[in-house]
A and B are shown apart, each in its own frame.
Chain A
Amino acid sequence: MPRVLLIEDDRAVREGVALALRRQGHEVAPVATGEDGLERVRSFRPDVVVLDLMLPGMSGLDVCSRIRGLDQTLPIVMATARGDDEDIVVGLEAGADDYVVKPVQARVLEARIRAVLRRAGGAPATGGIPKIDTYGDLSVDRAGLAVARGGVPVPLAPSELRLLLTLSAAPGQVFSRQQLLEAVWEHSYHGDARLVDACVRRLRAKLGEPTREPRHIQTVRGFGYRFAAR
């Protein structure tokens, strides 16, 4: 039973979402503030966090950063109002894996949660070949879902891991943002490509890619991204 930590300040929304998620078979811990949320990350050990960005007291963005400080791999889904574009970008930079726009129907939120959890635990789209690929000092364990650089494990959030697995499964092949949105996030073709860009930036930072000329995750201007196996 997936454990969902729901951080939402409005009582009605919190109750409604918690009710709907419980009926979908999740174990839900609803809290009203970011401070409580951070506390519950430790005590409740959630599989996924659903985080409202508009919180009194500690802001949703702060909460997002703090959670990333505690756990690099815990999936975070932000709940935002469309048009709060700045917040979405900052939230993605802070490490959120995905976002939904409120008001959101329970089945949409549920689908996003399932997608994030699949990224975290399930086999990648390429089928999970049981071997460790090495590209220079980068090693990718496709079965164990672990990544190391120079022998040091690199903790990746589910989206980052899935993105790396998808790109590196076909080195040299160019993936458009839309393809990656569908393959990694299970979004529609017309989803928000900023998810991809933000995730690429986070992944490059975690892999210690040079700023000017990334070694592995390369931009193909006007088309998308590709993985270079060197």
Chain B
Amino acid sequence: MRRPRLPQLRGLRIRLVLAFTLVAAVTAGTTGALTFREARTGVLQQSQDAVIQQLRTQVGRSAPDLAFPPDEDALARFAADVARSEPSGTWRVLAAYGRLSATSAPGDRFTELTPAVREAVGSSMATVFQRVAVGDRTALVVGMSVTFAQVPVKGVYASGVHVFLTVPQTTERAYVDALVTAAERAAVPALTLAVLLALLAARGVLRPVRALRHATRSIAEGRLDTRLAVDGSDELADLSHTFNETAAALEKSVAELRGMEARARRFAADVSHELRTPLAAMSAVTDVLDEEAARLDPDTATAVRLISEETVKLARLVDDLMEISRFDAGAAVLHLDEIDLAESLRRTLGTRAWTGLVECDLPPPGALRGRVDPRRLDVVVANLVGNALRHGARPVTLRLYDGTEPGGARLAVIEVLDSGTGIPDDVLPHVFERFYKSDAARTRTEGSGLGLAITAENVRVHGGTVRAANRPGGGAVFTVRLPLPAAEVLQEEPW
């Protein structure tokens, strides 16, 4: 039985891989995001600290040259002076005094400067900065007041001059971008590693699971001595341990049952065996009893005949029991010989004087030869025909033809049909059981009650099958299918 492909996707392996990947992705993402944030903050902080420091130094250097109160030209010169201090030329500076203002580059509208920054610088002497995004670029805007170095008149430090600086943050941006790229690059190997680890872990879990599955199947197939190797002390090891205990318990129970059954069968065999010797003595003299019965008084004659008849039946019953015991013990041996099957069937009828009672539908001589045990085939046919003659009604038909199995192998089919009332449905499954009596009232028949059981065993040792069924038109049909092995497997004859 093959399971469809799809449920495999929901298997343990795929689930483990998914879980591991998810965990790895979340971990990588979180770590990356946190690292990125911290690194970005640090980079920006550092760069803006440097800018502010540089600006403060430059303003401190240039401010003394600024005439006070400044005019617009002076402010422009001052702004340009401050801007020049950065060699890369990326600084743009705006100097303001009251309503006057000037930029380092003439005509610069200084759009990055927000009123909030301007307000903050105006109201306090602290240095104010803000990161402003313009389009897809960011810029750092720094604002500070210029103060007097010495305590001036009226005790006021503030000069009223404000300096604003705009620095584009392209370098920092590149730096941050590199961080993101690095995080991404780290994530791919991490995820790959996670998948590999997941597969490894899955293997670690799946191997014991697979072993367990194999072991379970092995038990189901009857190998009760199957055990799992337990290593480690995890849940799977516990499970393996439990499995082993269960298997051991099962093996023990089955062994006990088999032991009991074997003892029961051996008992039957032993009893039959023990009965055989007294029966041998009794059987030897039944003919004497039969001959003398005619000369005895009627009562004694009846008693003597009874003993004689029942001795013969008892001998047959013991013989059948011995035969069944040999099947049970696996001691039944096939003595194969290649014979004409139709001839064998005809002889079976002939030796029992049934030739006139049974209609035959047999192939011509030589048409159907097979390698069988002739004695066992005789037993099979005699039991089936005898059964049909006793329990069915005439006409009884014996049919033989060659057929083919579904696999193409040749087989011989023997059918015994009678015209009686058939076999009741509740009896049909039991007809081949030992001592099964279909009719409670008919507790004793001519047979030992083992005939059909022996028939079934004899067919089985040939590798064939026997089936009982009712015909649509009434009457029972017993069908024996015997495989006919190809000629190549013939046993090598000594000499």
Please give the residue numbers on chain A whose beta carbons come within 8 Å of chain B beta carbons, in ascending order.
Answer: 10, 12-13, 15-17, 19-20, 23, 81-83, 85, 101-107, 109, 176-178, 188-194, 200-201, 204, 209, 211, 214, 219, 221-223
A190 touches B347 (CB 8 A): yes
Is B286 an interface residue when CB atoms closer than 8 A count as contact?
yes
Is B177 an interface residue when CB atoms closer than 8 A count as contact?
no
B337 touches A193 (CB 8 A): yes
Across the A-B interface, the 6 shortest Cβ-Cβ residue pairs: A16-B284, A12-B281, A190-B378, A189-B347, A103-B283, A103-B280
Choose one: B283, B291, B335, B348; the contact of A105 (CB below 8 Å): B283
A83 to B321, CA, bound (A): 12
A222 to B315, CA, bound (A): 35
A200 to B326, CA, bound (A): 28
A83 to B493, CA, bound (A): 23
Is B287 an interface residue when CB atoms closer than 8 A count as contact?
yes
A12-B280, A20-B287 provided; 18 other pairs, C-beta below 8 A? A10-B280, A12-B277, A16-B280, A16-B285, A81-B273, A81-B276, A83-B322, A102-B283, A103-B276, A103-B280, A104-B280, A105-B315, A178-B337, A188-B347, A188-B351, A193-B335, A200-B495, A222-B371
| Residues from 296 to 314 in B contacting A, C-beta threshold 8 Å | 312
Is B72 an interface residue when CB atoms closer than 8 A count as contact?
no
Give the most central of A101, A209, A222: most B CB within 10 Å: A222
A191 touches B375 (CB 8 A): yes
B335 touches A104 (CB 8 A): no
Query: Which residues of B lie under 8 Å from residue A200 when comparing CB positions?
Result: 495
17 A-B pairs (CB sep. < 8 Å): A16-B282, A16-B285, A81-B276, A85-B333, A102-B283, A103-B276, A104-B284, A105-B312, A106-B284, A109-B284, A176-B339, A177-B337, A178-B339, A178-B374, A189-B351, A190-B347, A190-B377
Query: Which residues of A lie under 8 Å from residue B281 when comparing CB positions?
Result: 10, 12-13, 15-17
Is B353 an interface residue when CB atoms closer than 8 A count as contact?
no
Give the most central of A82, A103, A191: most B CB within 10 Å: A103
Query: Which residues of A lie under 8 Å from residue B278 when comparing CB positions?
Result: 12
Query: Which residues of B lie under 8 Å from residue A23 when comparing CB positions?
Result: 288, 291
A57 to B281, CA, bound (A): 21
- Minimum C-beta distance from A149 to chain B (A): 18
Please give the residue numbers on chain B whose beta carbons come within 8 Å of chain A beta carbons, in ascending order.
Answer: 273, 276-288, 291, 312, 315, 318-319, 322-323, 326, 331, 333, 335, 337-339, 343-344, 347-348, 351, 369, 371, 374-375, 377-378, 487, 490, 493-495
A13 touches B285 (CB 8 A): no
Choose one: A13, A192, A193, A209; the contact of B277 (CB below 8 Å): A13
Query: Which residues of B lie under 8 Å from residue A10 when comparing CB positions?
Result: 277, 280-281
Which chain A residue has the least Cβ–Cβ distance from B487? A222
Query: Which residues of A lie under 8 Å from residue B282 when comparing CB positions?
Result: 16, 103
A189 to B374, CA, bound (A): 8
B490 touches A107 (CB 8 A): no
- Minimum C-beta distance from A50 to chain B (A): 11
Query: Which residues of A lie under 8 Å from residue B285 when comparing CB positions?
Result: 16, 19-20, 106
A211 touches B347 (CB 8 A): no
Q: With A85-B333, A190-B344 given, is the CB distance from A20 to B351 under 8 Å?
A: no
Query: Which residues of A lie under 8 Å from residue B377 when comparing CB positions?
Result: 190
Give the most central of B280, B285, B371, B493: most A CB within 10 Å: B280
- Minimum C-beta distance from B311 to chain A (A): 9
Query: Which residues of B lie under 8 Å from residue A193 when comparing CB positions?
Result: 335, 337, 374
A17 to B284, CA, bound (A): 5
Choose one: B286, B348, B495; the contact of A190 (CB below 8 Å): B348
B284 touches A219 (CB 8 A): no
B339 touches A20 (CB 8 A): no
A94 to B459, CA, bound (A): 32
B318 touches A103 (CB 8 A): yes
A10 to B273, CA, bound (A): 14
Query: Which residues of A lie under 8 Å from residue B291 when comparing CB positions?
Result: 23
A223 touches B279 (CB 8 A): no
A215 to B344, CA, bound (A): 31
Which chain B residue has the least Cβ–Cβ distance from A204? B495
Query: Which residues of A lie under 8 Å from residue B279 when comparing CB positions?
Result: 103
B338 touches A223 (CB 8 A): yes
Which chain B residue has the least Cβ–Cβ distance from A8? B280
Query: Which residues of B lie under 8 Å from residue A17 when comparing CB positions?
Result: 281, 284
Query: Which residues of B lie under 8 Å from residue A190 when comparing CB positions?
Result: 344, 347-348, 351, 374-375, 377-378
Q: With A81-B322, A190-B348 given, is the CB distance from A105 to B280 under 8 Å?
A: no
